[in-house]
Amino acid sequence: MSRTRIHNFSISLDGFGTGEGLSLDAPFGHAGHRMHQWMFATRFGAGIMGGEGGASGVDDAFAQQHEPGIGAEIMGAGKFGPPCWQDDPDWKGWWGPNPPFHTPTFVLTHRPPSQPLEMEGGTTFHFLDTTPEKALELAKEAAGGQDVRIGGGPTMVRDFIAAGLVDHIHFVQVPILLGRGVRVWDGLEGAEAGYDIETVSSPSGVTHLTFTRS
């Protein structure tokens, strides 16, 4: 059965999934790249940057689970581009001509461009203004029986968990304090019920938390 999964989603110690002040020059706002340094140090992280090398070990073992079995992604407008990217007809996402998704990728936005964007390497961005439930239904159809990844950012992650739509969550608690930004946990009281929860501490300083539907 097709599952809905979140992977490699980084959260600061004080519960933020991104910083404040998102812009073209600062995709994570004042958080900079501190949220994902753990990942870029891994083999998986080096690979998605188009390079080689990187460390194996526990962080890499978790990071590698991002891809297998995924047939579609759903992301929010805040992940796809900086504020008001909808006003730029040439905006095609942050990732260049060959984005690292390689599947149909659904972007939720209240101002959807009228046409999908077909990119190299199997990624097509489809723009939707609809509920999480309907977006997931469309993504599951497109995934052809494989799983659907919820790619973030924190607003999307929160909405999909609140709607009870997520079967497996991998959060990475990063030992930084952001103080401000977009919170992940707000309004999710009791959301842990119904999940088996495991934590693994890494020598890198991050803690991997997994929530798997019981």
Ligand X SMILES: NC(=O)c1ccc[n+]([C@@H]2O[C@H](COP(=O)([O-])OP(=O)(O)OC[C@H]3O[C@@H](n4cnc5c(N)ncnc54)[C@H](OP(=O)(O)O)[C@@H]3O)[C@@H](O)[C@H]2O)c1
Q: Which stretch binds ligand X (CB under 6 A): 66-74, 98-106, 145-153, 161-169?
A: 145-153
Residue 134 touching ligand X (CB under 6 A)? no
- CB-side exposure of 18: number of CA atoms within 13 Å? 20
Q: Which stretch binds ligand X (CB under 6 A): 118-126, 149-157, 160-168, 186-194?
A: 149-157
**DSSP H helices in 64-153:** 77-80, 132-143
| Residues in binding contact with ligand X, number by CB under 6 A | 28
Which amino acid type is present at position 172? V
Angle at 213 between CA 74 and CA 67, to 5 degrees: 40
Binding mask 64-93 for ligand X (x = CB under 6 A): ------------xxxx--------------
CB 174 within 8 A of CB 8: no
Question: 8: left (phi > 0), else alpha (psi -120 to 50), else beta?
Answer: left
Nearer to ligand X, 71 or 153 (CB): 153
Residue 123 touching ligand X (CB under 6 A)? no
CB 99 within 8 A of CB 93: yes
Residue 103 touching ligand X (CB under 6 A)? no
Which amino acid type is present at position 32? G
Residue 42 touching ligand X (CB under 6 A)? no
**23, 84, 155, 198, 210 from 31: Cα distances, Å:** 12, 20, 16, 26, 23
Residue 37 touching ligand X (CB under 6 A)? no
Nearer to ligand X, 90 or 145 (CB): 90
Nearer to ligand X, 9 or 62 (CB): 9
Least distance in angstroms from the C-beta of 68 to ligand X: 19
Q: Which residues bind ligand X (CB under 6 A)?
A: 9-10, 17-18, 22, 27-28, 35, 76-79, 108-111, 129-132, 151-156, 159, 182
